[in-house]
C-alpha cells in the first residue's frame, strides 16, 4: 500500500476583535456596500496590540491537536505558513514548538496566500518519503500589521487569524491524493510588501494591483485545481467540496463555475474573515468541519493564489 498523509484533526483561532465594514467606513473613504459587492467581505478579525502571529498559531494548533486526540509530543514535524512572522527570525514554527513541546523539526514556509497549499505539499512530501509520521501544519497571519491605512483599495480586504491541521501517515484510501504547485516571479510586482530586511530595514506595507491579481486568479485557480485532480486520477465531478483561499467571493464563484462545481459544494468564509492569506484555507476547513459539512470518503480540493505570484492546489480524500 502507498503511504499517504491523512487528515487527522483541524482547528482554528480568531482574535477577539471583530471589525465590521461599518467600522471601516469610519477609518477610510469606503462603504459597506462597496466592500460587500466587490469582495464579499462583511467583517474581519484584528489581533489585539501585543498579540502575535505565534499566539494565533498556538491557539489553532492546540485546537487541531485536541480534535486529533493526540498530544504535542506525538508530532514529529511542524510547518507554519506565514508572511507575517513575529520577528525576522527565528521562525514562527520554532516559537510554536517551544510553547507546545512538539518533537522533531520545525520551520516556516513563505508563499503568501498560497502558503498553506505549499505547506501541505511540503508536509505530504515528508510523510510519503517516510521522514515524518505526524505533521502539524499551521497557517497563521496578522496582515493587519502590514496594511497601508491610507490605501482604501487594500486595507479593507485583509484580516488576522490562524488555522491548523494534523496530518498522519496511513495506507488506506484516505489522505492527500495529489498536489500541484506553481509560481511565476515575473509577476512579483503585482502584490508585494514595500519593505524588508535587506532592502529598507523596515517592515513595509502591502501594495496590490487588485485588478491584475484578480485576472490571474480567475485564470490560474481552476487550472491548478484541475491539474491536481488529474494527477489524482479524478475530475471536478468527483469533488465533494472546494475549500478555496478566501480573498474575494467573486473569484471563488468564478473558479467554481469554470470547474463546473455548484456553489453548494464550495466552502465560503470570506464574509466573516476577510482575506487572512495563508490562514484562510485551514480556517475555512475548520469552520466547515465544525458545521458538520464533511463526511468520511469525501474528496476536497484546496486552491490558492497570492504574491509571487505563487499558486497551487491540494486534493485530499477524507
Is 155 catalytic? The answer is no
Report if residue 248 touches ligand UT7, rule: CB under 6 A: yes
Contact 157, 247 (CB under 8 A): yes
Active site residue 103: no
Catalytic residue among 45, 113, 124, 273: 113
Rounded to the nearest whole angstrom, what is the least distance from the CB of residue 34 to ligand UT7 in the complex?
4
Closer residue to ligand UT7, CB minimum distance, 56 or 252: 252
Position of minimal CB gap to ligand UT7: 210
CB-neighbour burial class of residue 147 (10 A; exposed 0-12, middle 13-18, buried 19+):
middle
**From 12, 45, 59, 245, active-site residue:** 245
Q: Min. distance of Cβ 11 from ligand UT7 in angstroms? A: 22
Question: Residue 277, Cα to own-chain centre: how many angstroms?
Answer: 6
Q: Per rule CB under 6 A, is residue 21 in the interface with ligand UT7? A: no
* 313 sits near ligand UT7 (criterion: CB under 6 A): no
Burial 23-34 (b: 16+ CB within 10 A, else e): ebbeeeebebee
210 counts as binding ligand UT7 under rule CB under 6 A: yes
Binding string, residues 84-113; x marks residues near ligand UT7 by CB under 6 A:
-----------------------------x
- Is 59 among the residues known to form the active site? no
Q: If binding means CB under 6 A, how many residues of this protein chain bind ligand UT7?
A: 20
Nearest alpha carbon to residue 11 among 85, 81, 61: 61
> What burial letters (b/e) apply to 53-92, b meaning 16+ CB within 10 Å?
bbbbbbbbbbbbbebbebebebbbbbbbbbbbbbeeeebb
Nearer to ligand UT7, 170 or 244 (CB): 244
At 231, give phi and psi (nearest 5°): -60, -30
Q: Give the residue, chosen from 11, 306, 308, 312, that forms a contact with ligand UT7 under the rule CB under 6 A.
A: 306
Shortest distance, CB of residue 57 to ligand UT7, whole angstroms?
19
CA atoms within 13 A on the CB side of 279: 36
Binding ligand UT7 by CB under 6 A: which of 251, 252, 288, 301?
A: 251
Q: Does 144 bind ligand UT7 (CB under 6 A)?
A: no
Contact, 135 vs 75, CB < 8 A? yes
66: Cβ contacts below 8 Å, ≥ 6 apart: 9, 11
Q: Alpha helix (H) ranges present in the chain?
A: 21-27, 32-39, 53-68, 92-100, 115-128, 152-155, 210-231, 249-259, 270-273, 280-290
Q: Which of 61, 1, 5, 7 is nearest to 295 (CA)?
A: 7
Pick between residue 93 and residue 157 the one whose CB is nearest to ligand UT7: 157
Q: Does residue 211 belong to the site contacting ligand UT7 (CB under 6 A)?
A: yes
Residue 182 found at the interface with ligand UT7 (CB under 6 A): no
3-state SS class at 275: strand
User: At its nearest, how many Å lie between ligand UT7 and the CB of residue 318?
Assistant: 26
Q: Would you say 176 and 124 are in contact if contact means Cβ atoms under 8 Å apart?
A: yes
Quick one: 85 or 115, whose CB is closer to ligand UT7? Answer: 115
Rounded to a whole number of angstroms, the minimum distance from the CB of residue 94 to ligand UT7 is 26
Provide the binding-site residues for ligand UT7, judged by CB under 6 A.
30-31, 34, 38-39, 113, 152-153, 156, 210-211, 213-214, 217, 247-248, 251, 275, 305-306
Q: Which residues are catalytic?
A: 113, 245, 275
Amino acid at each position: 500500500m502507498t503511504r499517504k498523509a491523512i487528515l487527522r484533526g483541524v482547528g482554528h483561532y480568531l482574535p477577539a476583535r471583530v471589525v465590521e465594514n461599518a467600522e471601516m467606513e469610519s477609518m477610510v473613504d469606503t462603504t459597506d456596500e462597496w466592500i460587500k459587492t466587490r469582495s464579499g467581505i462583511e467583517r474581519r478579525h484584528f489581533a489585539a496590540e501585543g498579540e502575535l502571529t505565534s499566539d494565533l498559531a498556538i491557539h489553532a494548533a492546540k485546537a487541531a491537536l485536541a480534535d486529533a486526540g493526540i498530544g504535542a509530543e506525538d508530532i514529529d514535524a511542524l510547518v507554519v505558513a506565514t508572511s507575517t512572522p513575529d520577528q525576522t527570525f527565528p521562525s514562527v514554527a520554532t516559537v510554536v514548538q517551544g510553547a507546545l513541546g512538539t518533537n522533531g523539526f520545525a520551520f516556516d514556509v513563505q508563499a503568501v496566500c498560497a502558503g498553506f497549499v505549499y505547506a501541505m505539499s511540503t508536509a505530504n512530501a515528508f510523510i510519503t518519503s517516510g521522514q515524518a509520521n505526524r505533521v502539524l501544519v499551521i497557517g497563521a497571519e496578522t496582515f493587519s500589521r502590514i496594511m497601508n491605512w491610507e490605501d482604501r483599495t487594500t486595507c479593507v480586504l485583509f484580516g488576522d487569524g490562524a488555522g491548523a491541521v494534523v496530518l498522519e501517515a496511513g495506507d488506506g484510501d484516505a489522505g492527500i491524493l495529489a498536489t500541484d504547485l506553481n509560481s511565476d516571479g515575473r509577476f512579483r510586482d503585482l502584490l508585494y510588501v514595500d519593505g524588508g530586511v535587506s532592502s529598507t530595514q523596515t517592515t513595509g506595507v502591502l501594495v496590490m494591483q487588485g485588478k491584475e491579481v484578480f485576472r490571474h486568479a480567475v485564470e490560474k485557480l481552476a487550472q491548478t485545481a484541475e491539474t491536481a485532480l488529474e494527477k489524482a486520477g479524478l475530475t471536478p465531478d468527483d469533488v465533494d467540496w472546494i475549500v478555496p483561499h478566501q480573498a474575494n467571493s467573486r473569484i471563488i464563484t468564478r473558479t467554481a463555475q469554470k470547474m463546473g462545481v455548484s456553489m453548494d459544494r464550495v466552502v465560503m468564509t470570506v464574509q466573516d474573515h476577510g482575506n487572512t492569506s495563508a490562514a484562510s484555507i485551514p480556517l475555512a476547513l475548520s469552520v466547515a468541519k465544525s458545521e458538520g459539512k464533511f463526511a468520511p470518503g469525501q474528496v476536497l480540493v484546496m486552491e490558492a493564489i497570492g504574491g509571487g505570484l505563487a499558486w497551487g492546489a491540494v486534493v485530499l480524500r477524507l
